[in-house]
Structure 1
Amino acid sequence: MTKFLTRVQVEGAASIIRNRSRYQPTIGIVLGSGLNDIAQSVQFPDIIPTNQIPHWPASTVPGHVGRLLLGRLEDKVVLVLQGRSHFYEGYAMDQITLPVRVMSILGIKTLIVTNAAGGMNSDYKAGDLMLIKDHINIPGMAGNNPLRGPNDNTFGPRFPDMTEPYDRELRAVARKAAAEAEFDVQEGVYAYVAGPSYETPAELRYLKMIGGDAVGMSTVPSVLVARHAGMR
């Protein structure tokens, strides 16, 4: 039988962070490709290299630094992950979602996940921002779901509701902030694929036909685990 990370192992990773930071974050932020500059806005950060945290998957993707920053962003205490790992790097689903499990144990209730994605909607243009309102989980439909395996009820229910995986109120906050900053933001469906090969023209036509507006190789596993843990 496949071995999965246990709660004891997740708690062990969380304890390292607790012991090395002054902060108790309430918001988790996962930085996608090209968004590392956001970390520079974190004030008075405690910085923890992820290679010093047990069981933490190392990112092999250029530009993904591999560290946590805990500190203040505006008036909130945040944990920022610079350097996510991906399924295509050879990790199991429970490994790439360990950071979110750890965040839930640390008491984080709100998760902001970002990524760089390919646009499929013909109304989108390069550089547009898109709020994800729903997703299509192609690997999950094929059995590669991070919630696969024995369920730990202390994390969440066996069959979590995915009626609204992306919080409606948080999306409204994001739209309001975009309007105040006077820039447009799209809202659409994100199609998750495993990678690392890019999609063929036929695959892109299929993903668009079934409702996808953008396509990428991350985010969805983290969102599934976050929703399982009751995070927004």
Structure 2
Amino acid sequence: MCNRDCCEARSPIAKRMAARRLLQLEEEERRKPKLVIPTPQSLFYPFEEVEAMANYIIDVSHIRPKYGLICGSFLGLLISLVEEPVVIPYEDIPNFPAGLEPDCNFVVGTVMGAPIMAIANRFHVCDGYNLATCSLPVRVMQLCGVKTIMLTSEAAAVNVDFALGDIMLIADHINIVGMMHQTSLEGPSDPRFGSRFFSMVNAYDKGLLAKALEIGKRMGIHQFLHQGVFACLGGPVLETLAEERMLRTMQVEAVGLSLVPEVIAAHHGGLKVLAFVIISSVANERESEEKEKQNDRDMEGRVEKDEAPESLEVSPLRLQACSDLIGRMLYSMHHEL
């Protein structure tokens, strides 16, 4: 260890060199990469914080909902089903994250006598939200008293037979994001939300699935109502032709960028789940074939009179069918028909 006598014995040049070396060591230490340990997903919203969010919604609405509905903005018209709605903006709820879209709200009320809470603007990982935030609305609904949740979303078809506006009830899913160790349950587990280890087998309630198929048949929409396997992609980039063919060999029939994290949280919390997607874009392979045929017709300089190009928008009648399906499901479940 250097002492006063030692420093006094040094020449001015030696002192300057020692000071310069000390500055160099400090700069090298500052430039060294620091070890950063990310916050585990499960710690972003502890139970007490989510409970405070749920209590606020119940205090404002004076309703303890039994059913939950989460849909993307594409199917936002489903929110219009709620009667005598109490609208609670995200920013009013303690510690609840703000949404990217305008008018992000919880809507609490009834549908044909069934107490329900719903949102139309979900959180997406591709928008920069973590998975804990994406599944947070489900946690809030769980602590509000919701026992059955319905989830809807738009999706891209993988099945080449699916047309624009077709509805696919989800019988099972492949969580591609989860296979890469991306889950909202990563980190310490709070048993008040659910058990630490659990199976995702039968995450989609078979009774609700059968009831939805039966109601769809009675509605006369069975010709464009299917059931199948859904895959969750990371996004915002959708699959290539090669990836689509791979997914097809895995028996996937539609893909999307959301919904599965919410299903995991709901099943973890013991909620019954019914989920369906509406096809907003056809399979890449089908689209490529249609473009090739169109190009061939253009080169020949002819288009059949009775052969109009396929619309790029989902028919309002198909969107209305989604709304009617949800309404009839709620009535049937609540009155146990």
**In the alignment, which residue of structure 2 is the partner of 1:205?**
245
Please list, as runs of the form range in 1=range in 2, the aligned pairs for 1:74-113 lying within 5 A after superposition: 74-113=112-151
What CA distance in whole angstroms lies between the structure 1 residues aligned with 2:248 and 2:174?
11
Q: CA RMSD in A?
A: 1.4
Contact map agreement 1:22 1:46 (CA 8 A) in 2: no
- 4+ residue segments displaced more than 3 Å: none
Contact 2:66 2:148 in 1 (8 A): yes
Indicate yes or no: 2:211 matched with 1:135: no
Shift of 1:65: 4.0
Q: Which has the higher helix share?
A: 2
Equivalent of residue 217 in structure 2, options 179, 185, 193? 179
The answer to whether structure 1 residue 170 and structure 2 residue 208 are counterparts is: yes
The 3-state SS of whatever aligns with 1:80 is strand
Residue 32 of structure 1 pairs with residue 67 of structure 2? no
Deviation (angstroms), 1:57: 3.2
Deviations 1:89-111 (A, max 9, x none): 11111111111011111110101
State the Cα distance separating 1:55 from its structure 2 match. Answer: 3.3
The yes-or-no answer on 1:123 pairing with 2:166 is no
Post-superposition shift, 1:226?
A: 0.4
CA shift for structure 1 position 56: 2.5
Query: 1:10 maps to what in 2?
Result: 50
> Which amino acid in the other structure matches residue 177 of structure 2?
P
In the alignment, structure 2 segments of 5+ residues that lack a partner are: 1-36, 273-337
Matched, 1:48 2:88: yes
TM-score (normalizing by structure 1) = 0.95
Query: What is the alpha-carbon distance in structure 1 between the residues aligned to residue 241 and residue 97 of structure 2?
Result: 32
1:60 positional shift = 2.4
Shift of 1:66: 1.0
Question: Following the alignment from structure 1 to structure 2, what is the Cα–Cα distance between the partners of residues 210 and 148?
Answer: 26
Hey, what does 1:221 align to over in structure 2?
Answer: 261
Q: Map Cα deviations across residues 111-133 of structure 1 (whole Å, 9 max, x no partner).
A: 10000000111221111000000
Residues 104 and 226, structure 1, Cα contact 8 Å, conserved in 2: yes
CA contact (8 A) 2:82 2:109 kept: yes
Number of matched pairs: 230
> 1:152, CA displacement in angstroms?
0.7
**SS at the partner of 1:197?**
coil
- The structure with the larger Rg is 2
Supply the AA of the counterpart residue of 2:195. P
Question: Given that residues 27 and 109 in structure 1 are in contact (C-alpha distance below 8 angstroms), is that contact kept between their aligned partners in structure 2?
Answer: yes
Gaps of 5+ in 1: none
Equivalent residue for 2:194? Answer: 156
Please tell me whether the aligned partners of residues 73 and 120 of structure 2 are also in contact (alpha carbons under 8 angstroms). no
**Alpha-carbon offset, residue 207 of structure 1:** 1.7
